[in-house]
Amino acid sequence: MEIQGIIVPILTPMRPDGSLHSDALSDEIERLIAAKVHGIFPLGTNGEGYILSMEEKEEVLRETVRCVAGRLPVYAGTGCISTADTVRFSRRAQDFGADALSVITPWFAAASQEELQRHFETVAKSVSLPLILYNIPARTGNALAPATVEKLANMPNIVGVKDSSGNFDNMLQYIERTRHRPDFSVLSGNDSLILWTLLAGGKGGVAGCANVFPRNMVEIYEAFRRGDLNAARQAQDAIRPFRNCFRFGNPNTIVKTAVGMLGHNVGPCRPPFDGLSQEGRDAVRAVLQDLTGKGVN
User: Which residues on adjacent β-strands are paired with residue 8?
Assistant: 40
Q: Of the residues 57, 75, 134, 174, which is catalytic? A: 134
Beta strands in the chain (DSSP E): 5-8, 39-40, 75-77, 100-104, 131-135, 158-163, 185-188, 204-206
* Catalytic residue status for 203: no
* Catalytic residue status for 134: yes
Closest CA to 38 of 86, 71, 77, 79: 71
Strand order in the sheet with 100-104: 39-40, 5-8, 204-206, 185-188, 158-163, 131-135, 100-104, 75-77
DSSP 182-226: TT-EEEESSGGGHHHHHHHT--EEE-GGGGT-HHHHHHHHHHHHT
Q: Of the residues 50, 75, 151, 162, which is catalytic? A: 162
d(CA 238, CA 261): 18
Closest CA to 266 of 18, 90, 72: 18
Which residue numbers are catalytic?
134, 162
